[in-house]
Amino acid sequence: MQQDVIALKINNEIIDLQTAEAKGIESGEPVYFDNSPEALEVIRHSAAHLMAQAIKELYPEAKFYVGPTIENGFYYDLKTDTPITDKDLKNIEKKMKSLAKKKFDITRYEISKEEAREKFKDDELKQAVLDMIPGDTVSIYKQGDFEDLCRGPHVPNTKYLHNIKLQKVSGAYLGGDSKNEMLTRVYGTAFATKEALQEYLKMLEEAAKRDHRKLGTELELWMFDEEVGAGMPIWLPNGALLRANLEKLLYSAHIRREYLPVRGPELLRSHMWKISGHYYNYKENMYFTEIENDDPNKPADEYGIKPMNCLSHVKIFGHKVRSYKELPLRLFEFGTVHRHEKSGVLHGLLRVREFTQDDAHIFCRPDQIEEEVIKVLEFVDSIMERFGFNYEMEISTRPEKSIGSDEIWEKATESLKNALNSLNREYGIDEGGGAFYGPKIDIKITDAIGRKWQCGTIQVDFNLPKRFDITYVDENNERVRPVMIHRAIIGSFERFIAILTEHYAGEFPTFIAPIKAIFVPIAENHIEYAKKLQKELLEADINTEIFASNDSLNKRIRNAEKRKVGYVVIIGDEEVNTQTVAIRDRKKREQYKMTKGEFVEMIKNLSEVKL
Ligand SMILES: [Zn+2]
Ligand SMILES: [Zn+2]
């Protein structure tokens, strides 16, 4: 069956059928009534108006500000005499569904701005909206008795708006300005089909269970402390072990791929950030301090805490004469950086103010870029495959605020495309999404419940080598400028661990799990045997715990299972006498026995992984 057309797409702009008719537009790419991003945009925005219509019927005094779509849904900012709370959402939703059933045509007409001012003369919110609209004409959309000022796009009829869900109520300042009055913001979502809506709601439920902030606390991985400062994670022993396991894996993976470890300082003189351009392009995200000058007659020097690790690596390249034979030179560092993030966007370990990148800079000849990017892409493959992530890639091109010539930008962008093409990879293009100093490939991974996360980047840079005037000596004994490739694969340990925690729902696979097993001795006289096993594993760099408190056996087993470790190992008379262990295997949901030697071997094998 052919799906209904609900809008047209013309030059990447979605135009609803009402507008197309008014403007005499007949051709365009049809947007069908389905769950495509374009269709959802129209459906969700229309659902915001349906919600406004429902609220207006229930709260006749209600006034509305703006109702845009957002990622995964929509909201509408509004004002009522009786405050709307989460408890009222069910009732509003019910009203919305009954309005959808009435199959109102959604029609559009235009009036002059002056007429609109008159029409909404008692509505200060609409007046505020009118202040923002350019031009002399505005459009009004009408469904049933309800009219709203809007430029669309809207579906043609309320019958397309059955699959809706209102999610929460929060406050929002008028126009996002804290000097203005606080409005009520109601969030919701909508889909074309019931199945898609239900699938999405189920995913949200699952995501809430997996929330890394909740699991981080429950599993005692990390903490935040207001006295220490927002966005500054503190790693508890289990979290630090998890992170160390990840660091060890990645460290050896870099060494085997012929990267050289380096390390730069946390503070660099502002002079350096001025040369790099960060001082002028990135200053608002950096932290600065002062240190006295070596010369007491001179004023103190300003220093910037590094928001990226590149500059020391450039200095390392430049500290001696380099030959073409040394290229490509791959320098890597687990580099800790600080970036100022607004308090509003801080989010568990996903958005923090201090984090450590798996950062590397590859210095090479221009004709080596493609090959090096291919190697990085293969490195990405082996990491993502090990953790069970699918991923997609996107090339970001030149943004408005940028430095460097057109030619340089084009050359760099071409190299990235060539590398992806030669590996037969599909990729998207984000026009204008590049960093100010070069184009890049972004790596976006998909987790176990289908959510996408931005992680690593591969960035070609012709600019920093020039700014710091670094060169190598070529075959003809001439000084030539190298190209620099910045790359991070997991992005940062903080962010990647947050994603891993949600991806695995806290049940980390043995190769990175902080605690690989928990021993539960049945009685006092079984503790020694457990300690022996623990020591043997510790010799192989493997951490385990012994739960030997005064709690009952059952309670200790329950507590051990709450920690989501792969193996809970019960030890009683029989196990000690026969030198065996009784295992509760979390992943297989099974219980079985093994000899002590087999168990130690198994854990060692599972922990020995190479990337
Ligand atoms: Zn609208
Ligand atoms: Zn860099």
- In terms of residues, how long is the chain? 611
Q: Catalytic residues, which ones? A: 310, 339, 357, 359, 361, 440, 486
Q: Please report the pLDDT score of residue 25 as a whole number.
A: 87
Q: How far is the CA of 278 from the centre of ligand 1 (A)?
A: 40
Beta-carbon contacts of residue 367 (< 8 Å; ≥ 6 apart):
none
Residue holding tokens 């490195």?
Answer: 379
Ligand approaching nearest to the C-alpha of 312: 2
Would you tell me how many other CB atoms lie within 10 Å of the CB of residue 435? 18
Closest by Cα among 373, 353, 269 to 315: 269
Report the distance separating Cα 422 and Cα 416, nearest Å.
10
Beta bridge partners of 169: 186
**Please, are residues 460 and 412 in contact by the beta-carbon 8 Å criterion?**
yes
As beta bridge partners, residue 394 has: 428, 442
Ligand with an atom nearest the CA of residue 16: 1
The CA 235 to ligand 2 mean position distance, Å, reads 25
477 CB neighbour count, 10 Å cutoff: 7
CB 360 within 8 A of CB 331: yes
Q: Which two tokens stand for residue 169?
A: 């109520």
- Across 11-41, b (16+ Cβ under 10 Å) vs e yields eeebbbbbbbeeeeeeebeebebbbeebbbb
β pairing state of 428-430 and 390-396: parallel
Please report where in the chains the tokens 């008159």 appear, as a residue.
Answer: 118
The bound ligand whose nearest atom lies closest to the alpha carbon of 52 is 1
Q: Give residue 396 CA to ligand 2 midpoint distance, Å.
A: 16
Domains in the chain: boundaries:
5-205, 218-266+306-503, 517-607
d(CA 374, CA 422): 8
The 10 Å Cβ neighbour count of residue 401 is 9
Q: What is the pTM of this model?
A: 0.84
Residue 189 structure tokens: 């979502």
> From ligand 2's centre to the CA of 309, what distance in Å?
6
Whose atoms come closest to the Cα of 362: which ligand? Answer: 2
Question: C-alpha angle with apex 426: 372 to 366, nearest 5 degrees?
Answer: 25
Give the Å distance between the CA of 139 and the centre of ligand 1: 10
Under 8 Å CB-to-CB from 146, ≥6 apart: which residues? 49, 52, 53, 56
What top-level class would CATH report for the domain 5-205?
A: alpha beta
| CA–centroid distance, residue 82 to ligand 1 (Å) | 24
Closest alpha carbon to 445 in 512, 404, 386: 386
Task: In whole angstroms, give the CA distance from residue 377 to residue 442.
Answer: 11
Q: What pLDDT shows up at residue 295?
A: 87
Peptide bond into 60 cis (omega under 30): no
| Inter-residue contact 153 to 41 (CB < 8 Å) | yes
Residue 271's nearest CA partner among 467, 121, 404 is 467
Asked if residue 442 lies in contact with residue 394, where contact means CB atoms within 8 angstroms, the answer is yes
Alpha helices in 25-86 (DSSP H): 37-58
Minimal CA–CA distance to 293: which of 306, 302, 283, 305? 302
433 Cα to the center of ligand 1, angstroms: 28
Q: What is the pLDDT of residue 2?
A: 66
Write out the two tokens for 432: 């204008």
CA 497 to ligand 1 center in whole angstroms: 40
Helix (H), strand (E) at residue 571: strand 567-571
The three-state DSSP-derived secondary structure of 166-209 is EEEEEEEEHHHCCCCCEEEEEEEEECCCHHHHHHHHHHHHHHHH
Contact residues for 49 (Cβ-Cβ < 8 A; gap 6+)? 67, 106, 141, 143, 146, 148, 150, 154
For residue 147, which ligand has an atom nearest its CA? Answer: 1
pLDDT given for residue 104 in this prediction = 96
Give the residue from 211, 214, 233, 230 showing the smallest Cα distance to 222: 233
| 8 A C-beta contact, residue 93 and residue 165 | yes
Q: How far is the CA of 310 from the centre of ligand 2 (A)?
A: 4
Taking the C-alpha atoms of residue 86 and residue 73, their distance in angstroms, rounded to an integer, is: 17
The CATH homologous superfamily for domain 517-607 is Anticodon-binding domain (3.40.50.800)
Which residues, at least 6 apart from 397, have a Cβ–Cβ distance to it below 8 Å? 409, 413, 429, 430, 431, 432, 433, 434, 439
Topology of domain 218-266+306-503, CATH = BirA Bifunctional Protein; domain 2 (3.30.930)
Tokens 């200060």 locate to 124
Low-confidence ranges of the chain (pLDDT < 50): none
Residue 134 CB contacts under 8 Å (≥ 6 apart), including other chains? none
Domains 5-205 and 517-607 fall in the same CATH topology: no
* Ligand found nearest the CA of 485: 2
What is the full DSSP assignment across 459-523?
EEESSHHHHTT--EE-TTS-EEPPEEEEEEEEEEHHHHHHHHHHHTTT---TTT-SS-EEEEESS
Q: What is the CA radius of gyration of the chain?
A: 30
Helix (H, G, I), strand (E, B) or coil at 336: strand
The alpha carbon of 263 and the centre of ligand 2 are apart by a number of angstroms equal to 13
For residue 68, what pLDDT is reported?
94
